[in-house]
Amino acid sequence: MNSLRGRHFLSLQDFTPTEIAALLHFAGELKQRQKKGESHPLLAGKTLGMIFQKPSTRTRVSFEVGMWQLGGYALFLSSQELQMGRGEPIKDTAAVLSRYVDGIMIRTFNHSEVEELAFYASVPVINGLTDLLHPCQALADLLTVEERLGKLAGLKLAYTGDGNNVAHSLLLGCSKMGMNIAVAGPRPYWPLPEITAKARENAAASGGSVLITEDPLEAVKEADVIYTDVWASMGKEAEKMERKKIFAPYQVNDNLVKAARPGALVMHCLPAYRGEEITTEVLEGEQSVVPEQAENRLHAQKSLMALLMG
């Protein structure tokens, strides 16, 4: 029995460790089927409406290709094409789209918009990214780590840089799965206290741990995974020059990588600004799993769509 059918996917916090493990396991199965050339039209005849109020490369391509591989159809809806952009209430958009499509993916700024859309929609809503959270990315990240290192529980992931939506979802996801997560950044840019508090509660239940620090070397000590993201996320471009100075000590470079466990995985959710949050040498180095990480967006999201919409 698929207990995930009909559920929304707004945050990893809404799912149990067992449910997250099931999503990851099925993602691995679908990945193997795809690699073997085995068709898997689990969503034949079904349609995903994709609302984009923020631009995207990986999110659009991975969801669109994923729906096609599952035998369904993905409909791209930009903010310019929707009446939402002209002031139509979200509840009306949710009600109408629910009559047309079998699932909705939305990538937008305010997390409250995703919550409102899910509240009024009668089909599953998937959070493709908000300013608060990026759960699809974190799901793909967990899949990548598990594939490479054979487990999640007990491993340490160190994130350096801005305490943004990616950091928030990693805190929630890693802590749910019994991992030790350390986030290093300047204090004014730490993750939101309410997210950190939830992560600490998760860790207490799962056997993991949460560390928030200003010291990048403390964060990466004994780390199995080093992770970073852009210093100025979408909507923060005006602060880019100021942030470059503030975050310079948190760059993922050879020195930082050497301070972690030998062979620690290096991750970045992309797009990357080489020479800023990460050096080209590290991004393209032997320890980087960034291309796999990007690919796994496809497989993790296929698992999500198949289980929520199937």
Kindly compute the dihedral angle of the four CA atoms of residues 127, 272, 297, 224, in this order, to the nearest 10 degrees. Answer: -110
Is residue 136 part of the annotated active site? The answer reads: no
Q: Which of 13, 297, 299, 301 is catalytic?
A: 297
Active-site annotation holds for 107? yes
Task: Tell me which of 8, 58, 111, 134 is the catalytic residue.
Answer: 134
Marked catalytic residue, from 13, 53, 69, 137: 137
Residue 80 falls in the annotated catalytic set: no
The residue written with tokens 């852009």 in the block is: 230
Name the active-site residue from 8, 58, 136, 269: 269
Q: Is 229 one of the catalytic residues? A: yes
**Structure token digits, residue 308:** 């929520």
| 129 touches 137 (CB < 8 A) | yes
Q: Which of 229, 251, 268, 301 is catalytic?
A: 229
Is 269 marked active-site?
A: yes
Q: Using the CB atoms, write b or e for 167-180: b if 16+ within 10 Å.
A: bbbbbbbbbbbbbb
Question: If we measure between CA atoms, which residue out of 304, 269, 232 comes closest to residue 12?
Answer: 304
Collapsing DSSP to helix, strand or coil, 233 comes out as coil
Residue 271, preceding peptide bond in cis (omega within 30° of 0): yes
Q: Which of 58, 107, 243, 299 is catalytic?
A: 107
CB atoms within 10 A of CB 45: 9
Q: Is 69 a catalytic residue?
A: no
Query: Which residue from 169, 185, 167, 166 is spatially nearest to 177, judged by alpha carbons?
Result: 169
Which residues partner with 227 through β-bridges?
159, 267
Rounded to an integer, what distance in angstroms lies between the CA atom of residue 196 and that of residue 218? Answer: 18
Catalytically active residues, by annotation: 107, 134, 137, 229, 269, 297
